[in-house]
């Protein structure tokens, strides 16, 4: 029912009530008429409330399974998050729940990227995270724990980049080994590189005759492992978040493809 008709309808009901109250027609008591009118008013007000709720639900957009792999195009400059997410929701054809605590403005100019890629670019700008559950997309602000974990991952990634840079650096001349253990070879490579490297499992006592002068750290490790017919890995001590531990390093990848 059109909600614009409700005021007129209510007015009509009240008018009837006044006339009946004065005339008391057909022997109806004022008490009975009052109950009838109150009942009509309750029904009308309930209908008005339901109509309002339905309108709000339609305004929120359709609820459906959000396709995170759908490609979208976004072109916004310094807009409120709600404007940005409304554009995204419109192209995807599904609603997005956005916390009012996500408030920083967004600038993004992308073409034909997946929804996941778009969110990965936008959320770092505005300090948010996206939660995809049961086909629904929900945008929430970062918590203190989220920020701590992000900082830890940032430090870890920097450490891995530095380790990989060192592995591509070259050893000095004179790195020649004759009839020494693999453990000794890796210890000397560790001293020259600044890394801490040790053999995999029980390979440390195997003897090596090898010249790794001028090789990169990675090339030297490969040469030593090939010489002792090793498993294809060494252990490198590195920092994992709040503690140090030994991580496997497979120079040929895993499984080894020598």
Domain that holds residue 214: 166-249
Q: What are phi and psi of 40, to 5 degrees?
A: -65, -40
Query: Which one of 59, 80, 97 terminates a domain?
Result: 59
State whether 79 and 138 are in the same domain.
yes
Domain count, the chain: 3
State whether 83 and 129 are in the same domain.
yes
Strands (E), the chain: 71-79, 96-98, 106-114, 128-133, 136-141, 176-181, 197-199, 207-211, 234-240, 243-249
In a domain, 152, yes or no: no
In a domain, 257, yes or no: no
State whether 137 and 80 are in the same domain.
yes
State whether 80 and 55 are in the same domain.
no
Nearest to 108 by CA among 72, 56, 144: 72
Please state, in angstroms and rounded to a whole number, the distance separating the CA atoms of residues 184 and 192: 13
In a domain, 150, yes or no: no
Q: What is the pLDDT of residue 85?
A: 96
User: Exposed, middle or buried by CB within 10 Å (0-12, 13-18, 19+), for 67?
Assistant: middle
Q: Which residue has the tokens 């614009």?
A: 4
The tens digit of pLDDT for each residue in 198-222 reads 999 899 999 999 999 999 999 999 9
Which letter does DSSP use for residue 165 in this model?
Answer: H
The tens digit of pLDDT for each residue in 122-169 reads 999 999 999 999 999 999 999 999 999 888 888 888 999 999 999 999
Averaged pLDDT, 243-254? 88
User: Exposed, middle or buried by CB within 10 Å (0-12, 13-18, 19+), for 121?
Assistant: middle
Radius of gyration of the chain (CA): 36
In a domain, 155, yes or no: no
State whether 131 and 183 are in the same domain.
no
Q: How confident is the model at residue 64 (pLDDT cuts 50, 70, 90)?
A: confident
Sign of CA dihedral 243, 246, 250, 256: negative
Query: Which one of 29, 59, 89 terminates a domain?
Result: 59
Nearest to 182 by CA among 213, 221, 149: 221
In a domain, 127, yes or no: yes
State whether 82 and 122 are in the same domain.
yes
Please state, in angstroms and rounded to a whole number, the distance separating the CA atoms of residues 66 and 130: 12
The tens digit of pLDDT for each residue in 174-187 reads 999 999 999 999 99
Claim: this prediction has a pTM higher than 0.75: no
Q: What is the pLDDT of residue 150?
A: 85
CATH number at residue 126: 3.55.50.30
């Amino acid at each position: 029912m059109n909600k614009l008709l409700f005021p007129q309808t209510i007015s009509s009901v009240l008018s009837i009530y006044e006339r009946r109250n004065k005339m008391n027609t057909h022997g109806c008591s004022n008490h009975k008429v009052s109950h009838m009118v109150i009942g009509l008013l309750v029904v009308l007000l309930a209908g008005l409330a339901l109509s309002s709720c339905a309108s709000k639900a339609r305004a929120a957009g359709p609820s459906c399974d959000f396709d995170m792999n759908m490609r979208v195009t976004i072109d916004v400059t310094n807009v409120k998050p709600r404007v940005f997410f409304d554009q995204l929701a419109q192209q995807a054809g599904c609603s997005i729940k956005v916390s009012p605590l996500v408030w920083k403005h967004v600038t993004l100019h992308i073409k034909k990227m997946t929804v996941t890629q778009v969110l990965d670019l936008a959320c770092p700008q505005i300090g948010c995270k996206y939660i995809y559950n049961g086909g629904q997309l929900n945008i929430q602000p970062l918590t203190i724990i989220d920020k701590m974990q992000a900082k830890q991952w940032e430090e870890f990634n920097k450490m891995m980049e530095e380790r990989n840079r060192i592995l591509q650096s070259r050893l000095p001349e004179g790195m020649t080994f004759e009839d020494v253990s693999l453990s000794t070879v890796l210890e000397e490579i560790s001293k020259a590189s600044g890394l801490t490297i040790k053999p995999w499992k029980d390979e440390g006592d195997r003897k090596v005759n090898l010249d790794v002068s001028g090789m990169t750290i990675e090339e030297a490790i490969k040469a030593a492992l090939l010489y002792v017919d090793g498993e294809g890995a060494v252990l490198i001590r590195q920092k994992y978040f709040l503690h140090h531990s030994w991580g496997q390093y497979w120079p040929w990848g895993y499984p080894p493809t020598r």
